[in-house]
Chains A and B, each alone.
Chain A
């Protein structure tokens, strides 16, 4: 069985790791040695798709065709797209359900965009491990809802990866710290990434990592800081220029760089270079940055308090607070952490790598190489169904340990009803309409008088935090099929179609290239052998001619087929049997050349 890899699919950067003999290791880009893959995907008019550093550079030239923070759109519906989003990207307007981007003349969904990032990381891992990789653990923000998780799983599938487990990012970080420091007791993980904020409270004991509570905000992160800082730079520009997407993209890059500098230095300089213009400079101090981002950082306080409350703990009960995510390098963030948890944050491991390391460890646990560790995670948001009058009836409370299953019995309201519709939602609000719609489930039943059918429906949240619904007829004891219509996701059929169109397509492309290359080689050796057989027949040993002709015919027969592996075998067989013959031909021509020279010397 091949190795399982662990992937941190981040908003700004993504990483891949695996559990080796000496612990978890981050895998670098085989070409450049870089450990972070920018989560940027550019769609060029030529049809070419560019991923990573080059795509991030392309973003300033082609801002509308380069998706920079696709994670923010995972599992979202068209109605969740904001005005700010519209300034950055083109969307397919008027659509229902899942968000669709219009990039370089193509229409793509967030899972498809993410799948390009995953494919690149898969390639890195395959280069490092020297074998094909087919299975992965992928991390997600703890506060991701069911649709966002499902979208991440779909992205894996589209990238040709079987996603064995989705692990919550703060939990993964705790795993990495637990292994590194052998910590015991209550730990808080404060994870402020590029686009998401999570806080998890865990209890570590004897190798068991039990999540007590989690909370967060899936649209809050370092990107928002860059955006605010960029406004200072844009204000220096002549009116009208600042709203151009390419200008804004360049300003964000400059702002991000300045933000990093300000983590260590009191001042930094933002420079905006536009083609054909004098560069625009804007100096910025740390105090200025802190004023700009104070409100963003303060927004992390409420989730922290709620998580503590749900865990039934006070800040004083927390033994350690772990900093995760690039944005925790910002001094104001660290001070805020210290205020909230009354102790300095722990930063022993690189906050940008720690989640990937944890994902690598969980991959090892699933592969059976770490039987001493066990992760007990929770469902982040309450799950329920819409009942009479649009009321949200909770089936599973937030922070319940997964897997969790709940059974409910349903019946019919009118005579001869042929199906029961169940609308599942996720959230904490009292009214169904105020919560996030996940999916509608349609379950067929036998037509009977109202109230007679007895349908038992099981809602199971698996270890990935994803909902599975099964149904049985209590009267007949028969299983019932459940038809799922995701509210903001891809249906199974859509994924199949995308796989055929894109991934399998890519696969076919690769295969076609292999066939074509093998055919060229086959033609070369076939032609050479045929020529030698006619020109140097005298040099053939008895029986040798038969052998060569047999091998030649076999290759000629395969040459027009598609089986390039068989073709390669036949090429090798032919070159093996012709080798002694070819050597003799070579010797003869050498001898002839020598004879020629001697004659001339005479």
Chain B
């Protein structure tokens, strides 16, 4: 499989051999068909270990070359290519800088669906999700005099879930750096757990904010 953003080919404008998003000779933005490889878009190899400082630098450099601001006075075709390329660069940066998004993308690249697998949510987590939903329901239904104690309970739960998410994300980054990288099924399960907790945290925050308004 090719790891180039556009596949090996010639620049549409100057016929130079080009593998990147931008022609190294004439700086013309290259078209791509289908989904570009998000690593290649920023000139990176397909690896789960991404250095954030290097990533940001590549993002800024590539954006300078492809951003629509640079092509305001160019032809309609060049303007269109620049928008497409710029959107791809933005997506690449958004995906690679976040370990969770990166993990999900890694699964897609390897043909694994996040919601697939036999087990689904670990039973322990399912029980917890259920317990939290119940707490939230109690807070929503609470009478004025009981609300503060319910609110306190839910706030504590929020802290708990948020801390756990931070820990899980940290573990994910460690896993990426380990020899051989993660097994796909292990990665899938971890990401599924994070996704569940994130939804849960969102629900908690919405309920707390809704009560405050």
Contact = CB atoms under 8 A, between A and B. Distances in A.
Contact of A403 (B73, B86, B94): B86
A400 B90 contact: yes
23 contacts: A1-B73, A164-B72, A205-B56, A205-B60, A208-B63, A208-B64, A366-B72, A368-B73, A371-B70, A375-B69, A376-B67, A376-B90, A400-B90, A401-B94, A403-B83, A403-B86, A403-B87, A403-B90, A404-B87, A404-B91, A405-B87, A460-B87, A462-B83
Nearest to A4: B72
B72 A401 contact: no
A374 B60 contact: yes
B113 to A, nearest CB: 16
B60 A208 contact: yes
Given A208-B60, A208-B63, A376-B63, A463 B90 contact: no
Contacts of B63: 208, 374, 376
Contacts of A460: 83, 87
Q: For B60, B68, B69, B94, which residue has the most chain A Cβ atoms within 10 angstroms?
A: B69
A299 B87 CA distance: 34
Nearest to B205: A309
A308 to B, nearest CB: 15
B93 interface: yes
Contacts of A402: 90
Contacts of A165: 69, 72
Interface in A18-51: none
Main secondary structure of the interface of B (DSSP, over half): helix
A151 to B, nearest CB: 21
A374 B69 contact: yes
A365 interface: yes
A462 B68 contact: yes
Contacts of A463: 67-69, 83, 86
A463 B86 CA distance: 9
A315 interface: no
B84 interface: yes
A367 interface: yes
A522 to B, nearest CB: 41
Interface string A383-423: 00000000000000000111111000000000000000000
Contacts of B60: 205-206, 208, 210, 374
A324 B80 CA distance: 34
Contacts, number: 55
Contacts of B87: 403-405, 460
- State which size class the interface on B falls in: 10 to 19
B90 A404 contact: yes
Nearest to B64: A374
Given A208-B60, A400-B90, A460-B87, 8 more contacts: A210-B60, A366-B73, A376-B63, A376-B67, A376-B90, A403-B87, A403-B90, A460-B83
Interface string A284-297: 00000000000000
A523 B61 CA distance: 65
A400 B70 CA distance: 20
A366 B87 CA distance: 18
Interface residues of A, number: 24
B211 to A, nearest CB: 15
Interface string A158-178: 000000110000000000000
Nearest to A430: B206
A317 B62 CA distance: 27
Contacts of A164: 72
Interface string B74-88: 000000000110110
Contacts of B68: 403, 462-463
Nearest to B93: A401
A435 B84 CA distance: 28
A97 to B, nearest CB: 29
Contacts of A374: 60, 63-64, 67, 69
A387 B60 CA distance: 36
A404 B86 CA distance: 8
Given A374-B64, A374-B69, A463-B68, A400 B94 contact: yes
B208 to A, nearest CB: 13
Q: Which 4 A-B pairs have the closest CB atoms?
A: A405-B87, A366-B72, A401-B90, A403-B87
A117 to B, nearest CB: 24
Interface in A194-247: 205-206, 208, 210
A205 B63 CA distance: 13
Interface in A347-378: 365-368, 371, 374-376
A174 B204 CA distance: 35
A460 B86 CA distance: 11
A366 B90 contact: no
B69 A365 contact: yes
A462 B72 CA distance: 13
Contacts of B86: 403, 463
Contacts of A375: 69
Nearest to A210: B60
A217 B70 CA distance: 31
B87 to A, nearest CB: 4
Interface string A245-282: 00000000000000000000000000000000000000
B193 to A, nearest CB: 21
Contact of A366 (B69, B83, B91, B94): B69
A483 to B, nearest CB: 21
A135 to B, nearest CB: 9
A246 to B, nearest CB: 38
A365 B64 CA distance: 12
B93 to A, nearest CB: 7
B38 to A, nearest CB: 13
A572 B93 CA distance: 64
Interface in A301-339: none
Contacts of B72: 164-165, 366-368
Contacts of B93: 401
Contacts of B90: 376, 400-404
A301 to B, nearest CB: 13
B36 to A, nearest CB: 11
A49 B160 CA distance: 62
Interface in B15-32: none
Nearest to A203: B56
A374 B89 CA distance: 14
